[in-house]
Structure 1
Amino acid sequence: MDVLFWPVADVLAHLAGRWHVERSVRDPASGDEGAFRGTTVFGPLAGGGLLHEESGTFTWRGVPRPAERTLRFLPGAVPGTADVRFADGRPFHDLDLTSGRHVAEHRCAADLYRGEFTVLDADHWRTVWRVGGPAKDLVLTTDCTRAG
């Protein structure tokens, strides 16, 4: 069965608003699994773009703890795309969903993060990050559903 992607003409306009987030985290080497449940809000960022604020509960090895992260989604080099940066301004990855699918990479020391972003419809998108290297071996699958 072929997976159909939902093209997005303007990633920033599409992501704006509140999303429910469910993420599974799996360590293939050890078999450990975890989960994050929470919300992400893409709100206006002074000077253009969106401030991505994620918060919720991350459970790892049966222990729940609060978790949050902040990213900046700035207008990309091509209209309709985004330049994703960490909260402190360091580059993270580019994001172009005009085809409904995008693959990005990010080096973190010796580890390589490879992310696949897919838009399933107007209210659902998924990210799968595969992280490999000497320090990490993880698969993170995130499903986002637009909040009503």
Structure 2
Amino acid sequence: MGEFRPVPDALGYLAGTWQVERSVRDLTSGAEGKFSGTTVFSPLDGGGLLHHESGTFVWQGVPRPAERTLRFLPGEGRGTVDVRFADGRPFHDLDLAYGRHVADHPCSADLYRGEFTVRDEDHWRTVWRVRGPAKDLVLITDYAREG
């Protein structure tokens, strides 16, 4: 397992409030951005968690408010997650049983490949690599449990 912390119940691990720091880099243009904010995973009626992220995104020196909402639902396997967009469309699966997971999400002609790693009880990271005719991006997000 090395540097990854196994998580047998992903929903249980994620529940609560996390401080978020994200870097965004456009590999084609060299442009860079940063997001700082909070992600709250709160219980959903019927099971699962509502993921709500809010904060400030600075792109090429221009700050603006940013937010997104996802649904983290119980997955098919024990302790796994079925991640969906707010409108219910599928996004990706998530299994942190080994402390690391890779998921793909095709979006039009682009492919989003996410790597999720759990460092310890209070820190995890996602790295999304987005490739295709419209995008060539790397997004790195670090989460630190609040409180």
TM-score range, shorter chain: over 0.9
Q: How many angstroms apart in 2 are the aligned matches of 1:3 and 1:18?
A: 26
Q: How many angstroms apart in 2 are the aligned matches of 1:135 and 1:28?
A: 12
Match of 2:127 in 1: 128
Structure 1 gap ranges (5+)? none
Match of 2:91 in 1: 92
Match of 1:32 in 2: 31
Structure 2 gap ranges (5+)? none
- Paired residues in the alignment total 147
Instruction: Please give the secondary structure, in 2, of the residue aligned with 1:97.
Output: coil
Match of 1:10 in 2: 9
Q: In the TM superposition, what whole-angstrom CA distance separates every residue of 1:1-60 from its partner, at most 9, and x where no partner exists?
A: x95100001000000000000000001111100000000000001110000000000000
- The aligned runs of 1:50-61 (5 Å cut-off) are 50-61=49-60
Match of 2:70 in 1: 71
Amino acid across the alignment from 2:69 = T
Give the TM-score taking structure 2 as reference length: 0.99
**Coordinate RMSD, CA, aligned:** 0.9
Match of 2:103 in 1: 104
Q: How many angstroms apart in 1 are the aligned matches of 2:136 and 2:30?
A: 11
Give the TM-score taking structure 1 as reference length: 0.98
Amino acid across the alignment from 1:36 = F
Instruction: Please give the secondary structure, in 2, of the residue aligned with 1:7.
Output: coil
CA apart distance, 1:79: 1.1
Instruction: Please give the secondary structure, in 1, of the residue aligned with 2:12.
Output: helix
Moved over 4 A (4+): none
